[in-house]
Amino acid sequence: MSGPIGVFDSGYGGLTVLKEFVQRMPHWDYLYLGDNARAPYGPRSFESVYEYTLECVEWLFGQGCPLVILACNTASAKALRTIQQKDLPGMDPALRVLGVIRPTTEVIGNYSATGNVGILGTAGTVISGSYPIEIERFFPGTRVYQEACPMWVPLVENDEYDKPGADYFVQQHLTTLLAQGNIDTLLLACTHYPLLLPKIKQYIPDGIQVLSQGSLVAESLKGYLERHPEMEAKLSRNASQTFVTTDSTTDFDTHASRFFGRPVHSVHLDLSAG
């Protein structure tokens, strides 16, 4: 039995990652689940993010996905390790869940000449300390500066990312972050933030590069599947993408195309229906 690759996010952000998966690996089937009814996850407790993420992962497994990617930094930071260590061992041993933090931290040092890296993320991601801890493992001595941007996800989710109101919050957080050190590489450590890229570029000096995660995570998944033929053999390949949201499909379809770059038609999921 083969099944699709499950891709999960609290809302729309994971579509910026799925877009890169489809671009590089169009042959696989993908099942995207956005937990829009409970987004944003960024300000939520560890317990809530873990509980919601696990519920969504279990649903994706139930749909036949052998592999689930948490295309959400907040879920990767607050839930992935517990799911991998505590929950997966009690399930089918062939099932896998991967996140977005490791594929990013294992290459980020290659982009920085000064060894000063800036991380922009949700409060949950920043408070978890996942980025400084993981970057230290792969690139010891790198100085990691973080800034939580609690308003950025709401700006993106509410279609304000390209409007004048966004400028204030974008500039505010970039100014605070860049004042901390001689940063030459900025990471958008939230899968929603690529939509703010044009505004971000307006407020940073030339010479600072901005990395979005989608391409890094897609390259990493490609490598993972090459190294794991046993997983590759379990994936179905009809080049399909299916979109599921826990909230309104009308809203999802209206917003999602901006993240995915193509029209999206979603199906509603009521997780409480069991």
Q: Pattern of binders to ligand DGL over 174-213, x per CB under 6 A?
A: ----------------xxx---------------------
Instruction: Indicate which single residue of 36, 53, 74, 112 sits in contact with ligand DGL (rule: CB under 6 A).
Output: 74
In the bound complex, what is the minimum distance in angstroms from residue 248's beta carbon to ligand DGL? 17
**Residue 66 within binding range of ligand DGL, rule CB under 6 A:** no
Stretch that binds ligand DGL, among 25-33, 71-79, 88-96, 129-137 (CB under 6 A): 71-79
Q: Pattern of binders to ligand DGL over 235-274, x per CB under 6 A?
A: ----------------------------------------
Question: How far apart, in Å, are the Cα atoms of 188 and each of 44, 72, 229?
Answer: 20, 12, 31
Instruction: Indicate which single residue of 104, 122, 220, 249 sits in contact with ligand DGL (rule: CB under 6 A).
Output: 122
Peptide linkage before 150 cis (omega within 30 of 0)? no
How many angstroms separate the CA atoms of 124 and 121, rounded?
8
Active-site residue 72, yes or no? yes
Stretch that binds ligand DGL, among 6-14, 57-65, 218-226, 257-265 (CB under 6 A): 6-14
Q: Which residues of 116-136 are buried (b: 16+ CB within 10 A; e: fewer)?
A: bbbbbbbbbbbebebbbebbe
Strands 241-245 and 96-98: unpaired
In the bound complex, what is the minimum distance in angstroms from residue 83's beta carbon to ligand DGL? 16
Torsion of the alpha carbons at 131, 17, 155 and 124, rounded to the nearest 10:
-30
How many angstroms separate the CA atoms of 270 and 273, rounded?
6
Which CB, 74 or 220, lies closer to ligand DGL? 74
Q: Up-side HSE of residue 146: CA atoms within 13 Å toward CB?
A: 18
Q: Which residues are catalytic?
A: 72, 190
